[in-house]
Amino acid sequence: MSIEVKIPAVGESITSGILSTWHKQNGDMVNDGEALFTLETDKISTEVPAVGSGKLRIQVDAGQEVKIGQLVALLEDNIKAPGGSGEPSSPAEAADFASPAANATVPRSAATTPVSVDEPVPATRRSAVEQESNETLSPAARRIAEEEKVKLSEVMGTGKHGQVTKSDLIRYLESKSSPPAAKPSAALAPDVAVSTTPATEPSPRFTRRKMSPLRKKIAAQLVLAQQNAAMLTTFNECDMSAVMQLRSQYQETFQKRHTVKLGFMAFFIKAVVEALQSVPEMNARIDDDDLVENHYYDIGVAVGTERGLVVPVIRDADKKSFAELEKEVATYAGKAREGKLHLDDLTGGVFTITNGGIYGSLLSTPILNPPQSGILGMHKIQNRPMAIGDKIEVRPMMYLAVSYDHRVVDGKEAVTFLIRVKECVEAPTRLLLEA
């Protein structure tokens, strides 16, 4: 008896994704609840656990696009062979047991004659394989063949038993797009030798790979923000001396008591909440012909991962302490890098904070995260000479940038908002006294 492993539903608007990684090998024993594979969608990357125990028989290779509800593997009971042992009783059975993917794709007509797995199937044999091409092609290969209208009879398959793979189709299309080699002139005498020195293959100059669903979503969101918002950015600079002194003074005590470091992000989240309360126009968004003003403070904090930028949301940031904010930021950052964020973690924010300074950025213009009307960009802290009264002093300075939707927010409100953030960071006691 087998347990079917299917792609689970991960959100109402998500219909497909990429099966990016198998955490178990084909033929491995899997226990109920173990992480089986990672599914990447346009919103999240999540590990999918096994729904039972058994021997894994993979049906879909890693890197393939899959639809919600699609069968991707089987979990089979460890059925014993007739001889009484758990091992196959013959070499043929051993081959059958070790290669489930091949059994699923080999047509009956091609299975009657032994075929070397390491060699391409001859053209006379490929026609038999192609009779069931719709069943044997992987989803990605089938999509390429349909979109490019490829005749499979013209493609040399290098997969098992001559199966046409995605790589075969890409090589075939690239060979068709390259200019044909010059043919020898027909006017030459038959006995005239023509130089046929083979051209050396050029070194690879680029790598082509499909964009991940998350990268596609990021690209679409950024273009949407540029096209649908009247985006403008205003800048200021912030003296980080007071915050750095406060962190240095209380870091050890804070960390012992709360088991988390006191970073800069908690100060900026608190400052943004204070500024949003002072300038409510920044906490608004356009919905069709309506202007919706939010009265809650769910702040998104951008986190960079290997798969792209994600923005988990800190709920009710106005009601949380510095320690609670730092713990949530650290937790979300860890979940983001491990691909364990849930869809609910990424939705519903009213304002976003992004910190390019951790990568060394000195100044940038952050792009809005629709449908929000504002985003704050933090940058690298750099010692610079500043005029303090009648003296020149070296201070740790940070450039701040706030991008905003000019359809919702006027320049006056945007500048007022940024100055309020600056005041709260430069004098952090304001955040405690609400002054």
Query: Which of 30, 11, 23 has the alpha carbon at shortest distance from 68?
Result: 11
Whether residue 410 lies in the annotated active site: yes
**Choosing from 28, 77, 316, 410, which is the catalytic residue?**
410
Q: How far apart are CA 370 and CA 229, in angstroms?
A: 9
Query: Which of 35, 39, 37 has the alpha carbon at shortest distance from 9?
Result: 39
Alpha carbons within 13 angstroms on the beta-carbon side of residue 163 total: 22
Answer yes or no: are the C-beta atoms of 368 and 354 closer than 8 Å: no
Q: Which three-class secondary structure state does DSSP give residue 39?
A: strand
Angle at 348 between CA 347 and CA 354, to 5 degrees: 80
C-alpha to C-alpha distances, 348 to 103, 119, 188, 313, 330, nearest whole angstrom: 47, 54, 75, 7, 19
**Choosing from 23, 258, 342, 406, which is the catalytic residue?**
406
Answer yes or no: are the C-beta atoms of 382 and 391 closer than 8 Å: no
Side chain identity at residue 291, one-letter code = L
CA dihedral sign of residues 14, 18, 22, 23: negative
* Active site positions, annotated: 406, 410
